[in-house]
Amino acid sequence: MKAQFERRPVLVLFVGVVAGITAVAHPLNGLLSVLLLAWLPSLRSRLLIALGLVFGVLLPTPGQSHPSDSLPTDSRWIVLNLPKETIGGWSFQAQAVADGRTTTVVTPHEFLPEEGSIVALDGSLRAPREAGESGLLVATQVIEVQPPPLWDRAAARWRESLHLFLNQALDADTSRLVTALCFGGADTLTPNDLTSAKQEGWVTIVTSSGLPVLALIALMEAGASLIPAPRLFWLVALTLIFGLYAFAAGLQSSALRAVVVALILRWGYVFSREPDLLSAVSVAGLLILVVRPSEVYALGFALSMLTLSAIALFTPGRGPRPANLRRRMAANVYAGIRAVTISAIVAIPLIAQRLHHVAFNSVLASFVVVAVVPIIVALAFSGQAMALVAPSVGIGWVALLVGPLSAGLREFFALTAGLSTDVPSFSGYWLLPYFGAWLMLRGRFVKEE
């Protein structure tokens, strides 16, 4: 394992930053990073992890630097996601301009803020009770200080237009599900939807893991490979498409992580670098933590970083590409099954620790999501494009193709909902020996490079 760190300086830096951000709230993380520093053989790696640790400590995070229940002197907040209607008004995540803390905000019904806008808030604030938890600000006075940037408004309008379009072709429940699948977020899901999703094992797959986004990216690339064109042309085109998609998803963390990782892997070709998933994941994680340090506590961040890293560590290196199309497809299917299995080994205990609930059917759900979701998303987007020219054709296309697929997906989730159980609360540090044991067994699955 030392070789994995020594060959990837950005991975060492990323581990140091994660330890630094969490060290004040969890001092044991700082001690573990010191032990890692002593374990690494080279001076370069030791300096990098020390640099990451110091840098991470300096980044403000909720539950660390701001434990009080007082509002910051500068009362401006950035609206981070699409507001959802609740009993008390509108609920959304917001980040303080002054100190970077993130909290859940509830505003009165008469004020509906736009995603990306900056608002001045006054009201009562309940600070996070533990590191990683989101506080709650119940606003009594709201004033819009600055409207959202043009790209945020365009992204919100795209999502809203897709949702309205799907409402014309599908029932309300299916429309909300497909919109969530298309953009990898939970903004359109109701509390009842989220409760059912937890019981049926697909809530983290859709809302946090970024798996639907990665599957959609793979589908885009497969389609692009069928059209003869220079590789650099497709890299530029896919970069633009992925960038637009990330903005359309509201720069949600799950979509952003998947897009950044995909682009880093693809652009390595231009710089004559062999694609390296571990390094790509580390760079994506660093970029996100610099902009949003509080993401280090998010379940979705942990899921995507750990599962992608595990896939990179436990997947054999690339062999020669099969010339036969059938063998190539079989190899891709096997790689997908292996990736989903590895993801389940990592995700199930992590979800149990964070949500105190284990859905064993989530493994089955992952296989189905990887196979079906890209098709649903492609059909939904193509139907919306058709509707721009011929509305009835686009609506019919979605009703005929997306409706049955989505209904079958929900029926599958519902049938396997009983394969779940609640688990008692336990410390995340108990996961260290679990993951450590798998790392010790790595040599049995993958030959060291």
- Tens of pLDDT, residue by residue over 211-232, are 656 666 666 666 666 677 777 7
Give, as one character, the DSSP assignment of residue 25: T
Q: Which tens digits make up the pLDDT trace of 420-447?
A: 677 888 888 888 888 888 888 877 777 6
The answer for residues whose C-beta is within 8 angstroms of residue 57's C-beta and 6 or more apart is 20, 21, 23, 24
Backbone dihedral angles phi then psi of residue 343, each to the nearest 5 degrees: -60, -40
The pLDDT, as a whole number, for residue 448 is 58
The pLDDT, as a whole number, for residue 396 is 92
Instruction: Give the three-class secondary structure for 28.
Output: helix
- DSSP H or E segment with residue 61: none
Give residue limits of the domains in the chain.
Answer: 2-58, 76-148, 157-445
State the CB neighbour count (10 A cutoff) for residue 227. 9
Q: Which tens digits make up the pLDDT trace of 45-96?
A: 888 888 988 888 887 665 444 444 556 556 788 887 677 777 778 888 787 7
Closest CA to 311 of 261, 267, 357: 261
The pLDDT, as a whole number, for residue 378 is 80
Q: Which tens digits make up the pLDDT trace of 244-303?
A: 677 666 666 667 777 777 777 777 766 666 677 888 888 888 888 887 787 787 777 887
pTM of the model: 0.71
Q: Which tens digits make up the pLDDT trace of 304-334?
A: 788 888 888 887 665 566 666 677 677 767 7
The pLDDT, as a whole number, for residue 22 is 85
